[in-house]
Amino acid sequence: MKSIDCIICPKSCRIQVRGSLRPGKKPEVSGQECSKGKKYAISEICDPRRIFTSTVAVRNGEIKLVPVRTSKPIRKAEWKSGRDIIRGLNIAAPIGFGKVLIKDFTEKGIKLIAAREVKAF
Amino acid sequence: MEKRSNNSNYDIAIIGAGPAGLAAAVGAHEAGAGSILIIDREKYPGGILQQCIHPGFGLIRFKEELTGPEYAHAYIEMAKKKNIDLLLDTFVYSISEDKNILISNASDGLKNIEAGAVVMAMGCREGTRGSIFIPGFRPAGIFTAGTAQRLINIDGLMVGKKIVILGSGDIGLIMARRCTIEDAKVEAVVEKMPYPGGLNKNIVQCIDDFNIPLLLSHTVTFIDGKERIRGVEIAGVGSNGEILDSKRKYIECDTLLLSIGLIPENELSRGAGIPLDPITGGPYIDNMMHTEKQGFFAGGNVVQVYDLVDYVSEDSYTAGFNAGLYIQDKLDMKGDKIIIESGRYIRSIAPGILRIGGQTPAKDQKPVLSIRVEKPLMDSIRLSLSSGNNIIANMRRPYAVPSEMIRLDLSKYTAKLAGKKKIRIDIEEIH
């Protein structure tokens, strides 16, 4: 049995997962208050992921940094490579809200997007 | 939303353009208020959300997980679509009892603005080293966690390389992760209580994910270093709060972040003669988010420190909406005034006053209480609502912890509350 503390919402349900997680098998999941919890608990064991957020340097902008996020959670172990990718970046303003800054971030299909609008200076 | 305004007379003035002020403006507009002004000392609206670049906002309000700037963006867009004036980069010096607001900024100099109703939405500020008297030297390198967050996320300045964080509230936990991502080594998060101050989800994703040591029942007892901080002495804390000499230890560091609590920012409220509750640090407030001073409403962290911005928006919308009704003489303030008393295990309740006119509460009379407990109660609990010896209602919850406010909706019980002067809320553990 594995015990997982859910991070989807502040309730932080403690979820128990019993049985095999191999494809085709149905593990027994208990303790969650919603279906998102069940999905999270299984993914946390098989393929743990987190939304990655940081900031990227802006040139010619009214502010110096634009906050960024990934469109989907990235592999938990890949936060360092995510950080290394954005470290060298320098994006010219204007930057629209939700603009895709990198199309395939740590893996194909996961975008890095601007979480704030930055007007040109 | 206009950037500037030459007007000096408004139906409603809102102090603060953070989540509370923006939601209040939306509420005031939807209630039919004519002219609405938001004043903020920052250059941009959004308040503290702009520096909270992590996700976790909006799950209740928008049913999706947003970062702070994204949540702010949603409300800024809502306000833009309405006819709301925004005065930024502007400091409010004082608000008089008759709602004259003295402001200053670079283009207007000193200026007086008159309002028919005021919504206080100034938020809160952080406790500092001075609030808890940590002995030692006074070197550089000591920041509140929120100041460090601003330096890193807005100004692009890193605070240090070897960091100790005192206090395990959510901001402390979030900053432990943030500093780690920015290549600093977080030596320890030190918490005086035997349990963490922040939400469990933040322990998982900010502390456990990065293998950061969390030292519960410990505190910082000495700050070392003459120019820059060189290290801190920490010690264990016993069950009665006493320092345990056997557990003293020195940790080398170049930075100490303090995440030791938030204080509602109410200097302006005090100046306006609004009575304040010493427990929450915010104005005494009723379920319409009206203070005990006629025509002054309040919403968000200026009332009490919330753990979720979603509820800040909800309650501040109510404050703004009712300010909008008030200005049109449509707010029903004739309902019975019922004082709410806190029983066992309860640290604070806000609103602390219920004012319920009709038997079915209107949209503007939403009787939802936020209750904070003083210690973790991990077994099932029963909340009871009583008047004298009569139990009006019993409600069960699976648990209660200080980091999560209990939201208690009393809509179902308003008929039973009519005519009461005082009610009491008690918590009992059910084993």
Per residue in B95-127, pLDDT tens? 999 999 999 999 999 999 999 999 999 999 999
Would you state the pLDDT for residue B55?
96
Mean pLDDT of chain B: 93
Q: Which residues pair with B124 in a beta bridge?
A: B264
| Contacts for B72-77: CB closer than 8 Å, 24+ residues apart | B72/B19, B72/B22, B72/B45, B72/B46, B72/B47, B73/A97, B73/A115, B73/A116, B73/A117, B73/B46, B75/B19, B75/B22, B75/B23, B75/B26, B75/B46, B75/B313, B76/B1, B76/B22, B76/B45, B76/B46
Whether the CA torsion B179, B183, B188, B194 is positive or negative: it is: positive
Q: Give per-residue pLDDT as tens, B125-184.
A: 999 998 889 999 999 999 999 999 999 999 999 999 999 999 999 999 999 999 999 999
Structure tokens at A77: 């172990």
Hey, is B34 helix, strand or coil?
coil
Distance CA B286, CA B276 (A): 12
3-state secondary structure of B207: helix
Question: Residue B363: which pLDDT band, with cuts at 50, 70 and 90?
Answer: low
Element (H, E) at B252: strand B243-252
Q: How confident is the model at residue B4 (pLDDT cuts 50, 70, 90)?
A: low
Q: Cα separation of B186 and B210, whole Å?
A: 9
- Confidence label for B379 from pLDDT (cuts 50, 70 and 90): confident
Q: Which chain A residue has the Cα nearest residue B309?
A: A10
Q: For the segment A33-80, what is each residue's pLDDT rounded down to a tens digit?
A: 889 999 999 999 999 999 999 999 999 999 999 999 999 999 999 999
């601007």: which residue's tokens? A114
HSE at residue B204, side-chain half, CA atoms within 13 A, is 21
Interface probe with B: pick from A35, A66, A116, most Cβ of B within 10 Å: A116
pLDDT(B362) > 70: no
Question: Are the CB atoms for B86 and B281 separated by under 8 Å?
Answer: no
Q: Which residues are within 8 A (CB) of A84 and not within 5 positions of it... i.e. 6 or more apart?
A: none
d(CA B356, CA B354): 6
Inter-chain CB proximity B200 and A5 less than 8 Å: yes
Q: Which of A50, A51, A97 has its CB closest to that of B73?
A: A97
Q: Is B155 on the interface with A (CB under 8 A)?
A: yes
Question: In this complex, which of B44, B53, B205 lies closest to A7 when CB atoms are compared?
Answer: B205
Residue B367, pLDDT score: 87
- Written as one letter, the residue type at B173 is L
* Strand extents, DSSP E, B9-68: 9-15, 36-39, 55-57, 66-67
Tokens standing for A16? 């128990």
Helix, strand, or coil here: B203? helix
At B359, the pLDDT band (50, 70, 90 cuts) reads: very low
CA angle B181, A65, B57 (to 5 degrees): 65
Residue-level pLDDT at B403: 85
| Interface contact A6-B201, CB threshold 8 A | yes
B6, pLDDT greater than 90: no
Mutate to test the interface with A, among B204, B311, B312, B397 (most CBs of A within 10 A): B204
Query: Smallest CA–CA separation between A23 and chain B, in Å?
Result: 26
Largest Cα–Cα distance of chain B, in whole Å?
A: 65
Q: What is the pLDDT of residues B262-283, one digit of tens each?
A: 999 999 999 999 999 999 999 9
ipTM: 0.94
Does the beta carbon of B59 lie under 8 angstroms from any beta carbon of chain A? yes
Residues of B in contact with A64 (CB under 8 A): 154-156
Q: Please name the residue that has the structure tokens 């553990």.
A: B429
Q: Which long-range contacts (CB under 8 A, 24 or more apart) does B106-113 make?
A: B107/B4, B111/B8, B112/B8, B113/B8, B113/B9, B113/B10, B113/B13, B113/B37, B113/B39
Q: What are the chain A neighbours of B212 within 8 Å (beta carbons)?
A: none
Helix ranges, B182-252 (H): 200-202
Query: For residue B39, which of B19, B22, B15, B59 has the smallest C-alpha distance?
Result: B15
Question: Token pair 């395939």 is at which residue?
Answer: A104
Place of tokens 């240090």: B160
B63 touching chain A per CB within 8 A: no
Cross-strand pairs, B228? B140
* CB-nearest partner of A7 from B50, B156, B204: B204
Give the Cβ contact number of residue A87 at 10 Å: 12
Which among B55, B199, B209 has CB closest to A69?
Answer: B55
Contact B201 A5 (CB under 8 A): yes
pLDDT at position B361: 53
pTM of the model: 0.95
Q: Are B230 and B139 in contact (CB under 8 A)?
A: yes
Mean pLDDT of B68-96: 96
**Burial class of residue B8, CB neighbours in 10 A (0-12, 13-18, 19+):** middle
**Closest chain A residue by Cα to residue B170:** A10
Whole-angstrom distance, CA of residue B354 vs CA of residue B375: 26
pLDDT, tens digit, 9 for 90 and up, residues A70-100: 999 999 999 999 999 999 899 999 999 999 9
Q: What pLDDT, on the 0 to 100 scale, is given for residue B5?
A: 54
Instruction: Count CB atoms within 10 A of the CB of residue B386.
Output: 17
- In whole angstroms, how far apart are CA B212 and each of B16, B161, B176, B403? 36, 14, 8, 20
How far, in Å, are A20, A24, A40, B49 from residue A27 at the CA level?
6, 10, 13, 39
Residue B206 DSSP class: I
The CB density around residue B223, as the number of other CB atoms within 10 Å, is: 22
Looking at chain A, which residue has its C-alpha nearest residue B178?
A: A54
Q: What is the pLDDT of residue B357?
A: 66
Residue B165 buriedness (CB in 10 A; 0-12 / 13-18 / 19+): buried
Contact A10 B54 (CB under 8 A): no
Interval B220-274: pLDDT, tens: 999 999 999 999 999 999 999 999 999 999 999 999 999 999 999 999 999 999 9
Number of C-beta neighbours around residue B315 at 10 A: 29
Instruction: Render pLDDT for B322-335 as a digit per residue (tens, 0 to 9).
Output: 999 999 999 887 77
